Structure 1
């Protein structure tokens, strides 16, 4: 395990560590570096034979956090507000048959679930039902259903516009199938795009990146088997292909995610490690000119494992890397062609070979700093960055919004009055300390703080992660 700088050690000592800290390269029997182990629910606990995708939901009413995990036979919902003692609340069974593939995304307090199972379509589940589960685990029913397609490999949602993009269906040649979900209980078909090969996965954003030609447009970045596909989907009735990005030694362009400045698109090829013998390879595209994407550089990790799903939070790239587990890669110097692994938690201790076992996906967007890993063989893991391994037993008492924030952030409480708020940077330095007259809501000016990750401590007890854009 890497040595911790003295100032970091002081920072950590100020708080209680997580349940099983990463010490000498091990946490809870799993290899690690800088990531603490909080808890695990096995496949047996979840009543399934295999696991797949994962996502998360934070209840805006009380700030409680919930993990959602795709399983062979449905989607599981887990209360992780106490991450050391997660509560399996229940399962939404598959709409038709069991399947190796299931995918979930969230919009406006609803979960949208698709699967490769024949005739499955899209299930809609009201997540607010999780607030009052009397005798968990419950067997849930779907609240709405969309049958405009049958099997589906993946679902993408642009939360800013209220549109879902189902990819890998039998419609539109496997290209994105548009669904208006602005009224979640009444999904409406909205067209599709068939102009550029089968789409395996995608990210859709309201574009505010460096290419002024597309400012304010809704842009889809697709991982389309042998290429990156960039499509303007603003006009659902007339989507326009913009460009393709190609790279060498292509085997299966699987999934990608934009950096937060939208200058780079980081993708993984799912079969290149086994076909060409690379160590875990990540391809970084420069997409600053959407009409002319090109390979900026390639990064190879330290193991032979196959990469699967990756997501960006600030200057970190969270990569689920099958048999190598979760890998966190520093992308702060991506402009100069430099990336480096800084932390990991290996959910598959046996080996790091190029096979399809271990970590399928990761969800790193909880404000608490809790990270969810869904493992094909071992179920649901909850882990946390060692530097954020803080005692957060009252995580449900306070809600923070927005998060990420820019100039102001509001802290609200349903019961416990807010008397003090402290903010620390990642070096453990206190950058803000404010006292209040014990109110239930406070609006805090953070405009003087630089963009990055911080830890907010409320009433000298509860800790939250705060991201500043």
Structure 2
């Protein structure tokens, strides 16, 4: 496979817009601030006329990064390891008919795909097949199919438990439909929850937040049309509603994401801009007491665009904002009601009005710092903050040994003292955070890490890949 990559890059680089730095507020034709355009692949290249959702996968075997983009007529898979020369590897066609809506999540090296298309069910695709593509772009077949529901608006996966939660189906009143996917190619129905409204989107976590009453429980945070809905789904045969939360000027509670400390739930209302005249509005719920979620504050942006999908990575919130493109916010001081835009990349340069065009979703969890934006009209964008995620190949000051490692790894420096070490998994979740008295060598115990690829960040500037056997 590796011998074929230069040829594939030559063939497919002609179909993408190449790297364009953000200079004086523009990256070519795209307004920007703090984010460079790495490349773009058009919808025509994917053989479709519309795009929708996006997600990502990092191969734990070699650290290669792949963008997954939902299309009207299927799902595209793109190797973005070289983000300036992305490789379109192929498409998995829709299981039934075409649809405006398609959603993808990843678990255990498999993609799980749902759609609003009638009779679509849930497709399962083995992502390790992307290692061996020799005749790109290929037309892929699904590796498994789940027909416990027909159409679904969205799918949520808790990777810690191996359960998928399809939402917006015709089952359980539109509430979450549970599927055991611990064996990805043999999905098994596991019940559902019908005790609240139709659910549009959600996040599910093993709870480790400030409410000690629910520590260790599997908690579902739903965006349920006119409310947020918090449900204990630990026992799949007996899920229990905990509480609901409301806010002012509700029109359509669309999607939300928890901060890392589980204290706040950041949501967007998809229709309030067009119907109430707000500029882009974000509502921050205080969920430190799961039995009593309350609005902490609201933020209104300077543009009119409709907000769509938003995701938290550390102290930043990445929001796909339709005609305003990707907007990035500093959320490090939510306690004091500070929500500050720091970067943006506008994939729809002609207007920021409240209409349904432009950036549908964003995936910011690649260890490389590359960010995927899926645009309804213009295809797949890869952008990056040039000040972050220094390339491994340019770093000689630090060393990791042994690598791969099993129980102990030594981080050493030739010149610069080591004062901070962080380790992230392939989802971008920080799992080790160490502050160190300045030292030129530090020994780390990694015996509790599962086998796979991790990213080590040293002194907040330098990234290194770490393989754990």
TM range (shorter): 0.7 to 0.9
Contact 1:388 1:455 in 2 (8 A): no
Aligned to 2:344: 344
For residues 162 and 197 of structure 1, the distance between their equivalents in structure 2, rounded to whole angstroms, comes to 24
Aligned to 1:178: 178
Change (3 A) 1:446 1:198: closer
| Per-residue Cα deviation, 1:280-338 (whole angstroms, up to 9, x for no partner) | 00000000000000000000111000000000001100000000000001111101111
Change (3 A) 1:126 1:290: same
For residues 365 and 422 of structure 1, the distance between their equivalents in structure 2, rounded to whole angstroms, comes to 27
1:447 matched to 2:430? The reply is: no
Change (3 A) 1:72 1:27: same
Change (3 A) 1:421 1:106: farther
Change (3 A) 1:200 1:51: same
Aligned to 1:106: 106
* Helix, strand or coil at the partner of 2:199: coil
| Per-residue Cα deviation, 1:71-95 (whole angstroms, up to 9, x for no partner) | 0000000000000000000000000
CA shift at 1:263, angstroms?
Answer: 0.3
Contact 1:363 1:371 in 2 (8 A): yes
For residues 87 and 174 of structure 2, the distance between their equivalents in structure 1, rounded to whole angstroms, comes to 37
Q: Scaled by the length of structure 2, what TM-score is found?
A: 0.84
Aligned to 1:300: 300
1:237 matched to 2:233? The reply is: no
Contact 1:317 1:328 in 2 (8 A): yes
CA shift at 1:420, angstroms?
Answer: 8.1
CA shift at 1:447, angstroms?
Answer: 2.4
Aligned to 2:428: none
| Per-residue Cα deviation, 1:375-420 (whole angstroms, up to 9, x for no partner) | 000000000013127456799xxxx9xxxxxxxx998469xxx998
Q: Scaled by the length of structure 1, what TM-score is found?
A: 0.84
For residues 85 and 412 of structure 2, the distance between their equivalents in structure 1, rounded to whole angstroms, comes to 26
CA shift at 1:22, angstroms?
Answer: 1.0
Aligned to 1:21: 21
* Helix, strand or coil at the partner of 1:388: coil
For residues 352 and 292 of structure 2, the distance between their equivalents in structure 1, rounded to whole angstroms, comes to 36
1:274 matched to 2:311? The reply is: no
1:362 matched to 2:362? The reply is: yes
Gaps of 5+ in 2: 1-17, 422-430, 438-454
CA shift at 1:45, angstroms?
Answer: 1.0
Q: Which has the higher contact order (CA 8 A, sep 6+)?
A: 1
For residues 410 and 338 of structure 1, the distance between their equivalents in structure 2, rounded to whole angstroms, comes to 41
* Helix, strand or coil at the partner of 1:447: strand
Change (3 A) 1:464 1:37: farther
* Helix, strand or coil at the partner of 2:348: coil
Contact 2:67 2:78 in 1 (8 A): yes
Matches within 5 A, 1:108-147: 108-147=108-147
* Helix, strand or coil at the partner of 2:226: coil
* Helix, strand or coil at the partner of 1:386: coil
Contact 2:419 2:436 in 1 (8 A): no
For residues 353 and 210 of structure 1, the distance between their equivalents in structure 2, rounded to whole angstroms, comes to 38
CA shift at 1:184, angstroms?
Answer: 0.4
